[in-house]
């Protein structure tokens, strides 16, 4: 009998197929003692396993390319963390086997994150994956991961580590469903990049039996277990109609009555540019430069290396707009040379612009590299600072840009509620705003963006979050300046219409979402978008806001 479940839809599309479950996690190794004369040998085994896993993660990243490559390289660095390795070796020295030493050392670090209030909980899945891979290698058992299958299937897992998501084969994995995770987790972002329908934060997903036929709607978050023939036909028809609509709409983003809404791409480096160009991106709305720095957490990349990476992206968009976010380090992206190691609450500490102002040489080098990279190019370069809290922050960043001789527009990201509440004050120092809705939701609702248990509060349809977007857009309009959205909210086609109605002047998203947003915007007038925005803000919950906007835009 057909039953319906609902999680959080994070990647558009429909998938219908049989369920396959993720390979079981590595079992806990036995806690047996080894003789003292075997300790050195066991330490050597542990080091070899760590290096082999790190090399495998890097190799997977090289195969995947793009943003996935940066994520997996960061995971490889996690495997090679000197403090973790030292803890493993200490445990082996007092009698643990290599596998037990690895298991216990990672468990201790995991507990440390949990005791810190789980502000770094978004990396717990990554940490567990690294541990499982190392322990599996030491035990000589198969790596946990995607099941082998010759037939296409829908993958169900408790969570998906980046190493697994990055190399999913869309020809075999029709879609995936996870019990945990959130709309802004690494797996969700990579799913959108792959164009694989995905639903996360679905309690009880693991109880769906192997081989059961399910239909997954990555837009609504609905899962239909043992769907009827009528339901399957309905979903397949809707999917075909959606694809036809996507291919029929081309050109710059605009509403049906000609109100222009530039559709830009979020990129992490040159590897993400081809997909952005293929999707018809009108430029880059968020160039995440931190991935360049994560290649080596011990020191900043040289100015020459930065110039080469930046210029490769800038050259791809002649006479287009490229918005570069300067280094956003700290919280879940720590860098040894920049980030304090003993912060009790990293997400609320010295991160983003705060780190750069404490290390002006790092900021100066990056701004100089950007200036050099743009020399002689017709591109419209804009540079923005992350984690701007107030006018003083905005002024400090603008002053640094001017001192570096940067010929570009200077902007501020609105990720902290104070910046939205005082947006007009911030705009006295900078020329544009860009709303990072992922972090803005996290700080507005005190809800870690990576924790599935609080995904309800991470929903960008929350009316309180829409209020903050409206405040920022109104302030920009009053000052005659622009206000874009570069968070994952922009990738939701329906929400893109609401954001347009709130006064947002551009939308930036993963390349795979651009055709969906372009097609949806083209069906509605600006006045309809404005009415939908008003209806959404008048609601009391995210679900009510979504339904209210949908009713307006469908003419109900």
Q: Identify the CA nearest to 437 among candidates 390, 520, 501, 496.
A: 496
Calculate the alpha carbon distances from 154 to 129, 174, 176, 462 in Å: 21, 5, 5, 30
50 alpha carbon, distance to own chain's centre = 26
Do the strands 222-225 and 153-157 form a parallel or antiparallel pair, or are they unpaired?
unpaired
173-178 sheet: strands from edge to edge:
3-6, 222-225, 213-217, 14-21, 153-157, 173-178, 198-200, 8-11
Are 503 and 482 contacting, i.e. CB atoms less than 8 angstroms apart? Answer: no
- Residue 116 and residue 36: Cα distance in Å, rounded? 35
Are 545 and 462 contacting, i.e. CB atoms less than 8 angstroms apart? Answer: yes
* Residue 467: Cβ-neighbour burial (10 angstroms; 0-12, 13-18, 19+): middle
Phi and psi for 482 in degrees, rounded to 5? -95, 155
DSSP summary character for residue 37: G
- Residue 92 and residue 36: Cα distance in Å, rounded? 9
Residue 238's contacts (CB-CB under 8 Å, 6 or more residues apart) are 14
Are 373 and 339 contacting, i.e. CB atoms less than 8 angstroms apart? Answer: no
- Strand partners of residue 114: none
- Residue 451 and residue 120: Cα distance in Å, rounded? 9
Residue 430's contacts (CB-CB under 8 Å, 6 or more residues apart) are 384, 394, 397, 398, 410, 411, 412
Residue 331's contacts (CB-CB under 8 Å, 6 or more residues apart) are 119, 120, 346, 347, 349, 351
Angle at 233 between CA 231 and CA 234, to 5 degrees: 60
* Residue 24: Cβ-neighbour burial (10 angstroms; 0-12, 13-18, 19+): exposed
> Where do the H-state alpha helices sit in 171-300?
186-194, 229-248, 273-278, 290-293
Which residues have a catalytic role annotated? 186, 486
């Amino acid at each position: 009998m057909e039953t319906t479940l609902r999680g959080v839809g994070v990647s558009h599309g429909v998938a219908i197929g049989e369920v396959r479950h993720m390979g079981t996690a590595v079992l806990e190794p036995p806690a047996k003692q080894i003789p003292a004369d075997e300790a050195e040998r066991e330490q050597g085994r542990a080091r070899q396993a760590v290096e082999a896993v790190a090399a495998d993660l890097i190799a997977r990243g090289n195969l995947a390319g793009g943003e996935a490559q940066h994520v997996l390289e960061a995971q490889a660095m996690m495997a090679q963390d000197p403090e973790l390795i030292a803890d493993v070796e200490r445990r082996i020295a007092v009698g643990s086997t290599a596998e037990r030493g690895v298991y216990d050392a990672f468990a201790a670090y995991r507990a440390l994150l949990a005791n810190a209030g789980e502000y770094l909980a978004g990396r717990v899945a990554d940490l567990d994956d690294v541990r499982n891979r190392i322990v599996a290698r030491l035990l000589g058992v198969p790596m946990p991961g995607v099941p082998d299958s010759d037939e296409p299937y829908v993958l169900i897992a408790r969570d998906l580590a980046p190493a697994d998501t990055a190399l999913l084969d869309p020809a075999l994995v029709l879609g995936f469903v996870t019990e945990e995770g959130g709309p802004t987790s690494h797996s969700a972002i990579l799913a959108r990049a792959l164009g694989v329908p995905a639903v996360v934060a679905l309690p009880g997903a693991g109880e769906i039996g192997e081989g059961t036929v399910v239909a997954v709607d990555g837009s609504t978050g609905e899962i239909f277990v043992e769907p009827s023939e009528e339901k399957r036909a309905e979903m397949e028809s809707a999917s075909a109609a959606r694809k036809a609509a996507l291919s029929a709409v081309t050109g710059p983003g605009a509403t049906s009555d000609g109100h222009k809404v530039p559709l830009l791409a979020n990129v992490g480096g040159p590897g993400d540019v081809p997909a952005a160009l293929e999707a018809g991106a009108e430029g880059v709305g968020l160039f995440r430069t931190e991935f360049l720095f994560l290649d080596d957490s011990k020191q900043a990349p040289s100015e020459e290396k930065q110039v080469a990476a930046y210029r490769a992206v800038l050259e791809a968009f002649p006479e287009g707009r490229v918005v570069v976010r300067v280094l956003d380090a700290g919280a879940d992206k720590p860098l040894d040379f920049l980030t304090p190691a003993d912060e009790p609450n990293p997400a609320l500490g010295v991160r983003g612009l705060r780190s750069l102002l404490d290390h002006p040489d790092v900021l100066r080098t990056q701004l100089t590299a950007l200036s050099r990279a743009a020399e002689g190019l017709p591109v419209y370069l804009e540079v923005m600072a992350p984690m701007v809290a107030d006018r003083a922050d905005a002024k400090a960043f603008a002053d640094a840009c001017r001192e570096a001789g940067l010929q570009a527009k200077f902007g501020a990201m609105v990720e902290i509620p104070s910046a939205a509440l005082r947006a007009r004050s911030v705009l006295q120092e900078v020329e544009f705003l860009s709303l990072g809705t992922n972090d803005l939701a996290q700080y507005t609702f005190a809800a870690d963006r990576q924790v599935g248990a609080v995904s309800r509060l991470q929903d960008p349809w929350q009316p309180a979050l829409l209020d903050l977007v409206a405040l920022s857009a109104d302030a920009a309009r009053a000052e005659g300046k622009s206000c874009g959205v570069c968070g994952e909210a922009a990738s939701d086609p329906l929400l893109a219409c609401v954001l347009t109605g709130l006064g947002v002047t551009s939308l930036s998203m993963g390349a795979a979402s651009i055709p969906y947003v372009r097609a949806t915007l083209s069906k509605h007038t600006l006045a309809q978008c404005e009415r939908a925005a008003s209806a959404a803000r008048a609601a009391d919950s995210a679900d009510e806001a979504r339904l209210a906007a949908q009713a307006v835009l469908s003419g109900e």
